[in-house]
Amino acid sequence: MPAGEPVRRAAVLGHPIAHSLSPVLHLAAYRALGLAWEYDRIDMTGDRLASFVGGLDASWVGLSLTMPLKEDVLPLLDEADDVVLATRAANTVVLSGGRRIGANTDVEGIVRTLADAGAGDGAVGTATVLGGGATARSALAALARIGATQVVAYVRRPEAGADLRRTGDALGLTVGLETWDDAVHGLTASVVVSTVPRGAADHLATSVPTAPGTLLDVVYDLWPTPLAAAWRDAGGAVASGLDLLLHQAVEQVRLMTGRTPPLDVLRAALDEAARSR
């Protein structure tokens, strides 16, 4: 670090966190922007989050958060935008002037990922979301942004349906709810976003339609998933959790530094890290 330049720190928090590729992206961004900043992984559970955040000094510029911290952090924020309020999830905290400002860059990440796959603004007809957690709520916000007016969600937990409906109401989006056992019927939508963990949607691989639309499967460890592989084999457009991770990180860096890092540099760093896993 150049002499006299103050230390600036950021980190990704979660449990477990050793697998996170966020440091690869953020550190590549800092190098490209000429910033000698630090970015770490910190194992963190919700019961320790308030104490940790309360103890941060002025060197800290931001935090990236994994589940369930995206929800646990909400009471600790001084400010949150409409997207955070609608999705009730913040995967980013910008620390500025003694204030904690929450953002949800997953939404922008999903929008950009779907655009890369050919499902940009105005290109969405019918839409399906698989799952009912925080990422599913972010998917609803992203789909609303690109023109969806109605989404059908297939949930594994019945109680998640109420959360999705509340998000839909905040977004002016009609959310239809179906049980997980009927998820195969959602695969015929023009855009399908699978937000469930690795393995949960594998059984759907045998039911991919003959002319599938666009699939975003947020899994990126052990890619492609059986569903993504079958989707691609059937001629559909496929995007992965790595694509989402990339695009949401670009937005996180922009919020924390005030500057937009070069996408191609971050993509190259992410691809290299993914190949070496």
Q: Kindly report the CATH number assigned to the domain that includes residue 59.
A: 3.40.50.10860
For residue 122, the model assigns a pLDDT of: 75
Query: Is residue 51, in this structure, part of any structural domain at all?
Result: yes
Stated pTM of the model: 0.95
Instruction: Mark whether 195 is an active-site residue.
Output: no
The sign one gets for the Cα dihedral 108, 63, 78, 69 is: positive
The CA distance from 234 to 212, in Å, is 7
Has residue 4 got a pLDDT over 70? Answer: no
Same domain, 40 and 75: yes
Q: Does 61 have pLDDT greater than 90?
A: yes
Are 32 and 143 found together in one domain? no
Average pLDDT of the chain, as a whole number: 95
Identify whether residues 116 and 96 lie together within a single domain.
no
Catalytic residue among 41, 70, 112, 145: 70
The DSSP letter of residue 225 is: P
pLDDT digits (tens, 9 = 90+) for 123-132: 678 999 999 9
Backbone angles phi, psi at 40, to 5 degrees: -125, 170
Could you tell me the CATH number of the domain that includes residue 186? 3.40.50.720
| β-bridge mates for residue 137, sequence order | none
Q: Where in the sequence is the domain holding 115, given as residue range(s)?
A: 107-242
